[in-house]
Structure 1
Amino acid sequence: MKHKISIPKADFRFNREESGAGKEEALKVNLGRLVYLISIGLSVSIAHVILFYFFNSGASGTALQWKNGIIASHSTMFVVFLITGLSVIFIRKRGLINKSYARAIPHFMFLFFLMIGTIIAGIDQLITNAITPFMIACFFTAMVLIIPPLLSALYYLMAYTFFFFVITHFQPFQDVLLSNYVNGLTSVAIAWFLSMILWRNFVYRFRNDRLVRQQQTALQEQNLELSRIANELREVNKSRIRLFSIISHDLRGPLGNLSNLMRLLQNEDITEPEFKELLPELASQTLLTGELLDNLLNWSKNNLDGITCHPKAFTINETAANIIRLYESQASLKVLEIINNTDPQLKAFADPGMISLVLRNLISNALKFSKKNGVISVYSKSKGELTEISVEDSGIGIEPERIPSLFGDDQFSTQGTAGEKGTGLGLMLCKEFVERNGGHIGVQSSPGKGSRFWFTVPAVQ
């Protein structure tokens, strides 16, 4: 899977794709910085109020007017900082960052810093010619709050206009007034340039971080894809090993026995009566070998190509009767009785071939694990929109700890009561075929008392 990741450009605007995330990130940075800025501002403003209130108590005239102006301006700062600080903390704690008032706070504080700096600089004109508070406010807002260049230019222009009228009101000397005009304009220009550069750096850093996140996401997806492919390869390898094991052990043995018997007959090393005695065993092995081949072919097709399910209505009783006839000779060898207790009127809507394979495997397993003179019964019953089919035996049963793994991929066969061999593929195929037809499969068993394997398929509505 390929991901197109563009190299970030260093410009002053977010593109349409970045706009929402970029503005949200800028707001988070501004609110985080305001928390620290306001905590410092509260301490400074209250310190100025206390300092000017308790000292220089003998001031009069212009000095008293200057003192009262400083106390009033710093008291206003304290109140605004306190309200804004609590609002920012509340917004961050409650996750209200997308609210309109949350987005307005950094812009309000940007303008407030500039305006309060202008007011304090105007009040200072009563005793000094410097405009230091206005300069500090300009540079401080530029460095602390991240505002887009066009907006910051508008805010600085508004601040300078306000500064022009305030200085004109407080400064009576024309030469000093002209110097302050020039110094104020220079401060605004430098502050705006600084704000613009810091905004540009923020945009560039945001794009770099975004690029890193995209690369991390791409790597995670690639790792997941590689992990999926590795799991598939492990499953294929496991299936290949299992297939070779089955062919080399379980399939080669019966075919080898049959080949040896044919060779004995050809060389006349065995008499006809002896051959007739071996016929039942030969028939049993042939049936088991055919069953094994059938399971192998279905299992291979299911794993390699996938088997398509073709459901249609069919009578369960008839299907069960045909399978029982197939196993009559094998049942007679172990003196077992197979009884068809299915409802002759009950029909299922599923793939007949798949359900036939499921029933063959369940009946074959019941024969394999039943003792002589036992009984195997096949039942069917309606369960609303489903039909349940079950195979019950009075055999040796299954240990409880083995039941959860019966239908798994790692289940290997155990020998039957007469030493019958199997592959362990049967129950796995049963589960896959039943589920492909929209049903479920399960088992109840007690050691020494027999087992009941059941599965459901859709009923004919």
Structure 2
Amino acid sequence: MKGKSVFRLFYWLLLIVAPSVAFLSYLSNRNSYPDLVNDGVADIQQYDLNGDHIIHLRGTFTFFQHKLLTPNEVLSQRSTGLPMSVPSFWSESDIMTRYGYGTYHTRIVMRNAPEYLGLYYDGVFTCASMFIDGKLVSTVGQVDSDPKNCIPDVESALVMFEPESDTIDLVIQVANYDFRSGGVNGEILLGESRKLNFLLSFRMILKGFLLGGLIIIALFQLGNALLPRSSYIYFIFAAICAILAVRVLILKGSPLYLLYDFSYIFKLRVEYMTLFLGVPMISAIMHGFFPKDYRKGFVFVFAGFGIVFSLVQFLLSPANNSWLIPPFQVITLIQGVLITFYLFVVVLNKRPDAYVFLIGWVMVLFGLVHDILETSGVLDNGIQLTPYLMFLFIFVQANILARRSSMAFVQVEELSARLNFVNQNLEKMVAERTHRIEKQNSELEKQSRKIDKQNRELQKTVDSRNLVLTVIGHDLRGPIGNISEMIDLLLSADIDGETQQQILSAIRQSATSSFTLLENLMYWGRAQSGKISYNPDLYSVREIAGEALNLLESAAKEKNITLENFIPPDQMAWCDFSHVNLIIRNLVNNSIKFTDSGGHIIVSSRVRNNPQNKQKYLEVLVRDDGIGIPPEKLEMIFSSEKVETTWGTNNEKGSGIGLPLVKEFVSINKGQIYARSKVGEFTTFFFTLPVKQ
């Protein structure tokens, strides 16, 4: 049994991990090249096209809106073109309407170009003509400025050619009157002809494998459906496999197009019909597996939507047909949320095969959401996942059905197992005893780890307490003692006004230092005990910095240091006001301490983009022209494990907890902090803040 469990676990992990690894590997290969086209020029000299490189041409092409230019006209009018992102729809730009025509151009600069090159492109909506070095090499449909003469098609195209030099001028004329938005929203691949042809052949084989698998499963389930006393779910499986097979056959890049190419309208209507009829069948499968939990009414509702959309699309023109997709995507998401909710109910009710169905459905739901975002232009992964994940889902559910069909045989095995249990009862008792002992040992190990964790936390608390006592005993006693001695001097001595002002200034500096140290100790203690309150809102960072600099103005004047606030008034951040005030005060106070007389301290900010999630954030900089930080200490300045007392340029004493405290508060405010420095020249602290909730 254990071996079967391991095999079953390996089986399910393979079904989940294999497509995940394949998808991530595909994304890694696709995204390994940056946006190589910039301002209409693709400089790919660093890539060896004679090797295994397949270049993804994407970026900013030169675009001439409402013009169908010849290659010579493009070269003569190149300076008048506008930037247009590829891949993208026209509706995503500000320079082009959804319908119309235009010309794309890019110049490709290579090094040691192969003897034969291949160029593949797809996803051109809805017709295109391609020119390479002034020669017409490919057409998809028929491009014309007059809608009546324009013939739509969205098939992919592969061009093999001999490059005349290491520089290629690529011109693509595009027109659209038959889809909800025109543009080049697919991929453009460039590579050595054999390597590129091999890649496309592999894709074709993969689709052929998918098609063959769907047909085999459909025939197998149809055979089961024709058996006596069979469930209607076999008919549903056969139908959905047949619909998916037709969809794979009709989509671009299908093996069927090697034999026959259908018209654009036929492909569009069949593609949409398979979508409208196939998606609601998932509800039918859900009801077939879990009839007590998932209501039959849902099946009729979503099937009704599918039938209505299928009929309506035959009444509309191709241009209007594409507008049916967004509302149907909303219906698909509603169905997905509903099925997900009831699957959790099924799992809670402990229905057979609930977890397996849930895992398969999560894969399909991920594919549906991915493909919706892909067709909407939000994502640019260049692949439709739903057919492949639906195939895996159907394959898994077919296995479940096969297993349920063999339950009679399993029951016989269970009777045999009960007889063996009587004969092997003693061995089972020993095994159970051993299991209990192992379980007790496991619990003892868990308790031991828990005690070790508590000991580490207790030691951390003791270390924090010792640090506070050390700072109070050594760092706080000095400033307070100085204040007491200078007050005695003021009261007992007959001193002139200038000396009196100097003493008062020294008292103020010591008092400010003591207040800052006490405030840092208070926040340090709260941070170590996890009791810091966090009340964020949208605040002006310039206002926060201004309040902090006002408090430090007198300390800066004592050293003749100039404080400057260069943060723009309109820059806002989502943060806790008091936290960011403390952060800036500590950083500026630190800069004052380690900057010589006559120095400058500048607080500035800038808005930046996160390259991973494409979201904006605010970066605040505190820069001084002080003594700098040695490289060996730069990595440790934010560490709270080893706190050291430091001395400023005027022998100002620091506790060493300011910068670790700053890092704690930056983290609480969802930011990061780091520093750059050069000894004897400058130190700059950078910390980030979110610009919105």
1:261 shift after superposition: 2.2
Confirm or deny: 8 A CA contact 2:596 2:627 kept in the other structure. yes
Partners of 2:596 and 2:525 lie apart in 1 by 32
The aligned amino acid for 2:449 is L
Taking the TM superposition and a 5 Å limit, the aligned residue runs for 1:201-216 are: 201-216=426-441
In structure 1, the residue matched to 2:495 is: 271
Instruction: Give the secondary-structure state (helix, strand or coil) at the position aligned to 1:438.
Output: coil
Partners of 1:151 and 1:319 lie apart in 2 by 77
Taking the TM superposition and a 5 Å limit, the aligned residue runs for 1:340-355 are: 340-355=565-580
In structure 2, the residue matched to 1:322 is: 547
Question: For structure 2, which runs of at least 5 residues remain unmatched after alignment?
Answer: 7-402, 610-615
Confirm or deny: 8 A CA contact 1:313 1:348 kept in the other structure. yes
The match for 1:392 among 611, 619, 623 is 623
Instruction: Give the secondary-structure state (helix, strand or coil) at the position aligned to 1:232.
Output: helix
Confirm or deny: 8 A CA contact 1:405 1:411 kept in the other structure. no
1:150 corresponds to 2:419? yes
Task: Give 1 or 2: higher helix fraction.
Answer: 1
Partners of 2:555 and 2:420 lie apart in 1 by 92
Partners of 2:435 and 2:626 lie apart in 1 by 66
1:265 shift after superposition: 3.3
Instruction: Give the secondary-structure state (helix, strand or coil) at the position aligned to 1:405.
Output: coil
In structure 2, the residue matched to 1:364 is: 589
Confirm or deny: 8 A CA contact 1:316 1:348 kept in the other structure. yes
Partners of 1:305 and 1:442 lie apart in 2 by 23
1:441 corresponds to 2:673? yes
The match for 2:658 among 426, 432, 437 is 426
Partners of 2:518 and 2:420 lie apart in 1 by 79
Instruction: Give the secondary-structure state (helix, strand or coil) at the position aligned to 2:653.
Output: coil
1:402 corresponds to 2:633? yes
Confirm or deny: 8 A CA contact 1:311 1:349 kept in the other structure. yes
Instruction: Give the secondary-structure state (helix, strand or coil) at the position aligned to 1:327.
Output: helix
1:454 shift after superposition: 0.8
1:271 shift after superposition: 2.4
In structure 2, the residue matched to 1:155 is: none
Partners of 2:557 and 2:420 lie apart in 1 by 96
In structure 2, the residue matched to 1:78 is: none
Kindly provide the CA deviation profile for residues 193-245 of structure 1, in whole angstroms up to 9, marking residues without a partner as x: xx83xx12211210121012101210111111011101101101110110000
The aligned amino acid for 1:260 is E
In structure 2, the residue matched to 1:282 is: 507
Kindly provide the CA deviation profile for residues 122-175 of structure 1, in whole angstroms up to 9, marking residues without a partner as x: xxxxxxxxxxxxxxxxxxxxxxxxx856258xxxxxxxxxxxxxxxxxxxxxxx
Confirm or deny: 8 A CA contact 2:482 2:510 kept in the other structure. no
In structure 2, the residue matched to 1:31 is: none
Confirm or deny: 8 A CA contact 2:591 2:601 kept in the other structure. yes
Instruction: Give the secondary-structure state (helix, strand or coil) at the position aligned to 1:452.
Output: strand
Confirm or deny: 8 A CA contact 1:336 1:375 kept in the other structure. yes
Confirm or deny: 8 A CA contact 1:370 1:393 kept in the other structure. yes
Structure 1 residues 23 and 440, CA gap change in structure 2 (3 angstroms): closer
Confirm or deny: 8 A CA contact 2:540 2:569 kept in the other structure. yes
The aligned amino acid for 2:628 is G
In structure 2, the residue matched to 1:379 is: 604
1:24 shift after superposition: 7.7
1:298 shift after superposition: 1.2
Structure 1 residues 285 and 151, CA gap change in structure 2 (3 angstroms): closer
Structure 1 residues 208 and 310, CA gap change in structure 2 (3 angstroms): same
Confirm or deny: 8 A CA contact 2:623 2:684 kept in the other structure. yes
Confirm or deny: 8 A CA contact 2:541 2:571 kept in the other structure. yes
Question: Rg bigger for which structure?
Answer: 1
The match for 1:303 among 524, 528, 539 is 528
Partners of 1:395 and 1:24 lie apart in 2 by 66
Partners of 2:506 and 2:546 lie apart in 1 by 23
Partners of 1:232 and 1:305 lie apart in 2 by 12
1:420 shift after superposition: 0.7
1:372 shift after superposition: 1.6
Instruction: Give the secondary-structure state (helix, strand or coil) at the position aligned to 1:342.
Output: coil
Instruction: Give the secondary-structure state (helix, strand or coil) at the position aligned to 1:398.
Output: coil
1:377 shift after superposition: 0.6
Kindly provide the CA deviation profile for residues 256-315 of structure 1, in whole angstroms up to 9, marking residues without a partner as x: 11122223334x235253332212222211111111111111111222351121011111
Partners of 1:264 and 1:433 lie apart in 2 by 40
1:434 shift after superposition: 0.8
In structure 1, the residue matched to 2:148 is: none
How many residue pairs align between the two structures? 282
Q: Give the TM-score of the pair, scaled to structure 2.
A: 0.38
1:403 shift after superposition: 1.4
Kindly provide the CA deviation profile for residues 365-413 of structure 1, in whole angstroms up to 9, marking residues without a partner as x: 1001111211111111112421111100111111111112111112323
Of residues 317-326 and 339-348 in structure 1, the stretch that sits farther from structure 2 once superposed is 317-326
Confirm or deny: 8 A CA contact 2:486 2:507 kept in the other structure. no
Partners of 2:661 and 2:528 lie apart in 1 by 10
Partners of 1:276 and 1:436 lie apart in 2 by 41
Partners of 1:275 and 1:243 lie apart in 2 by 34
The aligned amino acid for 1:401 is E
Instruction: Give the secondary-structure state (helix, strand or coil) at the position aligned to 1:362.
Output: helix
In structure 2, the residue matched to 1:457 is: 689
Partners of 2:520 and 2:453 lie apart in 1 by 27
The match for 1:332 among 557, 563, 576 is 557
Structure 1 residues 333 and 151, CA gap change in structure 2 (3 angstroms): closer
The aligned amino acid for 2:554 is S
1:352 shift after superposition: 0.5
Partners of 2:539 and 2:663 lie apart in 1 by 20
Confirm or deny: 8 A CA contact 1:341 1:379 kept in the other structure. yes
Confirm or deny: 8 A CA contact 1:22 1:206 kept in the other structure. no
The aligned amino acid for 1:389 is V
Confirm or deny: 8 A CA contact 2:630 2:679 kept in the other structure. yes
Instruction: Give the secondary-structure state (helix, strand or coil) at the position aligned to 1:453.
Output: strand
The match for 2:473 among 221, 228, 248 is 248
Partners of 2:525 and 2:493 lie apart in 1 by 39
Instruction: Give the secondary-structure state (helix, strand or coil) at the position aligned to 2:635.
Output: helix
In structure 2, the residue matched to 1:291 is: 516
1:334 shift after superposition: 1.4
The aligned amino acid for 1:239 is S
Off by >6 Å, runs of 4+ in structure 1: 20-25
Partners of 2:417 and 2:687 lie apart in 1 by 68
Q: CA RMSD in A?
A: 2.7
Partners of 1:297 and 1:291 lie apart in 2 by 10
Instruction: Give the secondary-structure state (helix, strand or coil) at the position aligned to 1:417.
Output: coil
Structure 1 residues 419 and 209, CA gap change in structure 2 (3 angstroms): same
Instruction: Give the secondary-structure state (helix, strand or coil) at the position aligned to 1:353.
Output: helix
Partners of 2:429 and 2:5 lie apart in 1 by 15
Q: State the identity %.
A: 30
Structure 1 residues 451 and 22, CA gap change in structure 2 (3 angstroms): closer
The aligned amino acid for 1:210 is H
The aligned amino acid for 1:387 is L
Task: Give 1 or 2: higher strand fraction.
Answer: 2
Instruction: Give the secondary-structure state (helix, strand or coil) at the position aligned to 2:602.
Output: strand
Instruction: Give the secondary-structure state (helix, strand or coil) at the position aligned to 2:645.
Output: coil
Confirm or deny: 8 A CA contact 1:388 1:455 kept in the other structure. yes
